Amino acid sequence: MKVRAIRGATQLEADSVEAMKEAVVDLLSTLFQENELEVDDLISILFTATSDIHSDFPAAAARTLDLGAVPLMCAQELTIEGSLPLVVRVMVHAYSNRNHAEIRHIYRRGAQSLRKDIAQ
C-alpha cells in the first residue's frame, strides 16, 4: 500500500459549533466513502480554517466520527483579500492502493470554486 494525501474543503453556513460539526462531518464522511477509507487506513489529518472562524476547531468536529488515535492538527489559513470566507480545508494522509488518478479530492458546500480542476 502507498501513502496518499487527499485534499478537500468545505464552507460553513455560519461561524457556529453546529455549522462546523455539520460541514466537517459531511466533508470527511464523503471523502472517506469516495476513497474507500477505513479508520485503520488513516495516518493523520491536517485542517486549516480561515481567520473568520472562531467558534470551534475542525478537529473537535472530526472527533465525533470516532477516529480513535488518528492524529489531528488545526492551523489558520492565510488571510488573503477576496478569499472565500468560512472555509475549512483538509489534507488527509492515508494508506491506499489507489493511484494518483483514482484519488477523489472532495470539495463541498461552495468550496468547489477553490479547485475546479480537481473538485469531485
The residues annotated as belonging to the active site are 7, 63, 74, 77, 89, 107, 115
Q: How far apart are CA 90 and CA 25, in angstroms?
A: 12
**Are the C-beta atoms of residues 120 and 111 closer than 8 Å to each other?**
no
E strands of 1-120, at which residues? 2-11, 42-49, 72-76, 87-96, 106-108
Q: Which residues touch 81 (CB under 8 Å, ≥6 apart)? A: none
